Amino acid sequence: MQPGAGGGAIRVLNVAEKPSVAKAVAEILSRGSMQSRAGRSQYNRVFEFNYAINGRACRMLVTSVTGHLMELEFEDRFRRWHSCDPADLFHAPVRKSVPQDKQAIKQTLEEEARRCQWLVLWLDCDREGENIAYEVIEVCTGANSHLNIYRARFSALIAREIHESMQHLGRPNKLFADAVDARQEIDLRIGASFTRFQTMLLKDAFVIDVTGDDRNLVLSYGPCQFPTLGFIVERFWEIQAHEPEEFWTINCTHTSDEGTASFGWIRGHLFDYPSALILYEMCVQEPMATVQNVRNQEKFKYPPYPLSTVELQKRASRYFRMSSERTMKVAEELYQAGFISYPRTETDNFSPNTDLHAIVREQVEHPVWGAYADRLLSPEERLWRNPSNGGHDDKAHPPIHPTKFSRGENNWSPDHTRLYELVVRHFLACCSQPAVGAETTVEINIAGEQFNASGRVVLAKNYLDVYRFDSWGGTLLPTYNIGQQFVPTTLTLDSGVTRPPPLLAEADLLSCMDKAGIGTDATMHDHIKKLLDRCYATKDENTRFSPTNLGEALVMGYDEMGYELWKPYLRSMMEADMKSVSIGTKSKSEVLESCLQQMKACFLDARVNKAKLLDAMGTFFARSSRPINETQNPTEVVRPCAVCRESEMVLKQRQTGGFMVGCRGYPQCRNVVWLPGSISEASVTNQVCPICTPGPVYKIQFKFRRRDIPPNFDADHLGCVGGCDDILKELMEISRFGSHSHTATPARGQTPNGVRQGAPRQDLHTNFRPAGQLNNENPSVMHSQGFRSTHTQNPSNASDAGQVLCTSCGEPCINRIANTEANRGRKFYKCQDPGCGFFKWEDELDNATPRGRRGRGRGSSRQAPASASAGRRGGSQARGRRGRGRNADGGMFVSATGDPVSGCCFTCGDPSHFANACPNRR
């Protein structure tokens, strides 16, 4: 783009990726005459100056962001770990927004954009930079939709490049930004789902003391991180599987006046000792050696290709033992200071338009390699050679090369000095002629066995004179002629043992990642660092990696499942898809759909086979006494929570054996449905109720204890807790509710009758009223002991015969006197079996009006237990004010919020008294 001349001065908002880059760009364009003022963020200042773009007067404003301006995240209701099934994260809504810590930067951009006509983006010229550019565009155009948007493309913070970029502005590339959006969303969904799955499944199941604080342990999974770990583990397994094997080889030497030559056996070695011994004895018996061939040829050692990011990391690791993370940090600082070009590039060939001689000329004054740079420029030396083409071009940046001369700055660390030297020497080397050598190979025959020896002499070192990191040694052989015979000075049969391959060094690991397409040149070091931070691997002083027990166990678990989530193939295909998005052959939505569909299938399969992951962890770690998190089984989800509307209600079995349906958001949300103790088994099915809402509401397969229900009901029942199941309502009313009361813990702030004040609790009753119909201010509560069978004889009839029979087991009841403040002195009947929940007030057997149910009369036996429960709670007036008890329509089965009500005896479970007055107390 070349903006036309003419018209008045225009205001141009320039946005760089970092404050240091913004300052450098402003200093270059203004030639040091800019004015500086504070922005809304104390770290991101605004620089102002006048400038001309193609003859057009402009008032330039230069500011910056700090990397990505926005974050991609799940909506709030999915962000808590227990808020949903991890599988839901593959399709849960996501949003991209400015986080709180960058709101000040956003405000600066909005304020400045309102007063400008142009927006020029100075973000790094790669896919990530293009994505940040569109984040800036979204914020700025939100404040000023009339902005004219341009893109500045540059590779070095030097005056020549910056002015050139400003005069030849382009447009941002939406395809590059889409490719990063796709990668971000894929990584977020896959990483969050697998990380939650692994952590919640394994953290409480095993004693994993790798960080010193297992409470904060996160077993993360990343689609790049795990294949990187896979390379380390696979090499480790290869070493472990290696079995040393002895071999034998024949060696001979010959010493003459010109020196000594060592001849190697052309067979290499044999693993069969008798065969090697026979051949050796043949040579000993006929030791005369005959020279069969002498080859003299010219050899070349070529300089390296121009420097890419991965090659920079590999060579820094190999030459200086510098980690890839440290290499990128130092390289970034050198770039921002203007000493080297942009350090994140896949390109390893220079454009024909690049003035390579000018770059070399800047190094002539250096005290160490300046003389070589001068020779390189001299035509008489014939040392110059145009760099070779490595075959890679990302179309964004040139190879890494020096952009400014330095003898070494005062603020440089040794790493800065070493890395700058590597970049300069590498550039000078790739512009140089290859080293030239003369290589001699001599082949001899001893008793029919072939041996050879090689020697080399370097004729012209050329690039090796400056590239001190490479060597090309060799030995000088004595002179031999074809047909010459001699007796070897030594002739030996030597043994050796095969050795396993070494552990992967960081340079080798980077090569594996690069070849497999794992990560990008700018992110590989991050994946390696993540493995070390998560304690999945360790690195020794020689930069060689070993897996920890945790890392090996995770890879082993996935390997046992039968598919290779730890292998690079899936991620390699994803990276290829991202590239397709960036060049427009695939759409972002198409790639998202295919990748996420594939990985969700892997996730669901992994969860089904989670036992194999548990077995693998059990190989390395001791089992924990803590219960395994129960939210891992997807079939435990019953329905969405209608109280908090953020989490789901899941079926859980308590330590006492009873069942409940509780909200995953506990303790923030205390919505709970207490299921009766008469249920022996319960499991959520995949069948969805077509009636109940909000849904989906999954049906539960119940198994009731036969003795707790009448014979005309089936013990097995597929029921719905949404409120539509009449049979389940009857079974719930018939069933005894007492298991959770037996284990209730006294709560602070109880009233004398045992009802807890504070967060209310709603028990499960036979109306199955959905949780969405309740509110926290007026919850409907009824004690679980209020449920009694209506399919046995009336207790009052038994009373007339002088005996009250239990309606559940038919045995005679015992008579007791209540000791609670509300019912002190009142007589009641209860079953002799402490585990039985039968209870009846004596005055109810005499047709007295039930306390707490005035004006209604005795009614049916189904209502009587509820009335009894009302009396034990202190009467209908108090209950009516709190909205508790039976609903106006007679329904009693409701969903619940709050903690269990602690209003019963801990010894026998009877709600009419506490343990200190229990007649069964010993």
The contacts of residue 500 (CB under 8 Å, 6+ apart) are: 238, 239, 242
Cα 720 to Cα 728: distance, rounded to the nearest angstrom: 8
CA 604 to chain centre: 17
Compute the Cα dihedral for 83, 86, 90, 94 and give only its sign. Answer: positive
Shortest CA distance to 710 belongs to which of 612, 808, 584?
Answer: 808
What tokens does 404 get?
């400014």
- Residue 95, token pair as written in the block: 């949003």
Instruction: Name residues whose C-beta falls within 8 Å of residue 376's C-beta, 6 or more positions apart in sequence.
Output: 360, 383, 384, 428, 431, 432
Residue 285: C-alpha distances to residues 277, 447, 487, 871 (Å):
12, 8, 12, 115
Cis preceding-peptide flag for 779 (omega within 30 of 0): no
Burial zone of 20 (CB within 10 Å; 0-12 exposed, 13-18 middle, 19+ buried): middle
Which is it for the CA torsion 150, 153, 159, 163, positive or negative? negative
Active site residues: 342
Interatomic CA distance for residues 59 and 11, integer angstroms: 5
What SS3 class is residue 893?
coil
Q: In this structure, what are the phi and psi dihedrals at residue 333, rounded to the nearest 5 degrees?
A: -70, -40
Distance CA 229, CA 45 (A): 41
Tokens 């052309």: give the residue: 266
Looking up tokens 């590779």 gives: 155
Q: What is the largest CA-CA distance in the chain?
A: 131
**117's tokens:** 């006509």
Q: Which of 169, 56, 64 is nearest to 109 (CA)?
A: 64
d(CA 136, CA 171): 14
For Cα atoms 687, 688, 693, give the angle at the middle one, nearest 5 degrees: 160
